[in-house]
Amino acid sequence: MPLSQIRPHIKPTLLLAYPVVLSQLGHILVSVCDSVMVGQTGKLPLAAVSLGVSVSTVVMIFGMGLSFAITPLVAAADGKRDIPVLGNLLTGGVWLSAVAGLVLAGVGFLVAPFLKYLDQPAEVVALAAPWVRVTFLSLFPLMIFQGFKQFAEGLGLTRQAMTLSLLANVVNALLCYALIFGNLGAPRLGMMGAAWATLVARILMALFMATYVLRAQRLAPYRAAATHWLRPDPATIRRLVSLGAPIGVQMMFEMGAFSFSAIMIGWLGATSLAAHQIAINVASVTYMAASGIGAAATIRVGNFRGHGDANGARQAGFTAYLITFLFMSTMALLLIGGRHLIPHFYNHDPEVVAQAATLLLIAALFQISDGLQVVGLGALRGLEDVKVPSVVALLAYWAVALPFGYWLSTRLHLGATGVWIGLLTGLTLVAGMLLWRFRQHSASLVMAAPAPVAS
């Protein structure tokens, strides 16, 4: 696509994306803070956090995928100025998110006893089980936050969630400092202090986001149209589930692959698992930034689609692709340059640092593929195209990436490096197939409706 068609979309995309990027970074920086502070207490607690994150994130990501369905539907309804539909989406989205959060929180008490069957070091499992229970409890307030946040972001109101995410990080950091090490008169809880800090921070996020949506004057018309909070519109719930469930499944396939890779690396011992946690934690920061650009792509593509402007939707999607490519290329260079320094922020064990540096080199290589695949998912969600990406993720991650990584790790004796090369392969396949999918799907929409509808 010519740059002249993309240029007008760059500034609006960046203005919409940067608060979402900061908000998404807020989610992952909670984990970064936990890992950095827990890592100071030893490699065993850091390995236990890696195992706990691997298990809890797979479940969490399905719930977040459900909530992601709210944004493109809100963006499309906003493009049509359909207030009654927006009212139904507000009640239905929050109701569905709250119920999902309650169910996911309960799953933690079922999952924890099964950690011992993952063939991980016994001392790591003993530390991880109670951490998992508390972390799962925090999924309930997190999902309530998501319900309100995704509705607001669908309307283009992205700065509020950004502010709350940054505030939550400050609260989490202070509580981690107090509870992990016993500072500021608090009890010394070790790695469990990080879990309790996350729970408190997410409760505050839910309370403040709900207060904004339920009190802001600019959202009054939508609240007036949202008349049935306890009995949401069944058709709206069905539509949210039909769109959100494939998103959640796709995200589970992707995150599940990364989580299972951590389990495979755990078979190699606590040192490899701690190194993996450092590398995946750092890579997650850049991924969440790209995810924020992908969320902006969902909003803009969905809004143009609601207006009936298929060409504008196509241009908005490719603009997000270009921004992400440039950003992730820069991040790849930074990781290559800093791969020997970054691990020291987490842990000082020489073996852990050396392995983490090697894994960060591979992480740098898959930055571009990782960014392009997540922005492709965002753009396709704006077109309400979610089922094919789920199949793509299943095949690329579980039929290619994990078996290939296992083969490299065990047969060629590459260890954790082999597992990460497998992940790089899967990400590259997904990125290429989703780019082709968006190109074909958006082109067919332009051909079917070449003339935009005036707003």
Threshold 0.85, pTM exceeds: no
- What distance in Å separates the CA atoms of residue 126 and residue 113, rounded to the nearest whole number? 10
Nearest CA among 130, 93, 86 for reference residue 108: 130
User: Residues 354-399: pLDDT tens digits?
Assistant: 999 999 999 888 888 989 998 998 899 888 888 888 888 888 888 8
Neighbours of 412 (CB within 10 A): 11
**263: exposed, middle or buried (Cβ count in 10 Å: 0-12, 13-18, 19+):** middle
CA distances from 72 to 100, 296, 363 (A): 19, 10, 30
DSSP symbols for 419-449: HHHHHHHHHHHHHHHHHHHHHHHHHHHHHHS
| DSSP annotation string for 159-226 | HHHHHHHHHHHHHHHHHHHHHHHT-TT----THHHHHHHHHHHHHHHHHHHHHHHHH-GGGHHHHHH-
Residue type, 195: A
Q: Helix or strand or coil: residue 31? A: helix
Tokens of 48: 């236990």
Sequence-distant (6+) residues with CB within 8 A of 122 are 116
Query: Of all helices (H) and strands (E), which one includes residue 92?
Result: helix 83-111
Find tokens 């993996």 and name the residue. 276
205 contacts 152 by C-beta, under 8 angstroms: no
CA-based Rg of the chain, rounded to a whole angstrom?
Answer: 21
Residue 193 has a CB neighbour count (10 Å cut-off) of: 25
pLDDT in tens, the chain (455 residues): 677 777 888 888 888 777 777 776 766 667 677 777 887 777 788 778 877 877 887 788 889 889 989 988 998 888 888 899 999 999 999 999 999 999 999 887 888 788 887 777 788 888 888 888 998 999 999 999 999 999 998 888 878 888 887 888 888 889 989 999 999 888 998 889 988 998 999 999 999 999 999 999 999 999 998 877 778 889 999 999 998 888 888 888 877 887 788 888 888 887 888 888 788 888 888 887 888 888 889 888 988 888 888 888 899 999 999 999 999 999 999 999 999 999 988 878 888 889 999 999 998 888 889 899 989 988 998 888 888 888 888 888 888 999 999 999 988 888 888 999 998 999 999 999 999 999 998 888 888 865 544 44
Tokens representing 97?
Answer: 């998110």
- Annotated domain spans of the chain: 3-448
Q: Tell me the three state secondary structure of residue 265.
A: helix
Centre a 10 Å sphere on the Cβ of residue 442 and count the other Cβ atoms it contains.
Answer: 26
User: What is the length of the chain?
Assistant: 455
Residue 128 to residue 145: CA distance in whole angstroms:
26
- d(CA 262, CA 202) in angstroms, rounded, equals 25
Establish how many alpha carbons lie within 13 A of residue 231's alpha carbon, considering only the half-sphere containing its beta carbon.
Answer: 0
Task: Enumerate residues 6+ apart whose C-beta is below 8 A from 87.
Answer: 222, 223, 224, 225, 226, 227
Contact of 381 with 245, CB cutoff 8 Å: no
Q: Could you report the per-residue pLDDT of 49-78, keeping only the tens digit for each? A: 877 877 887 788 889 889 989 988 998 888
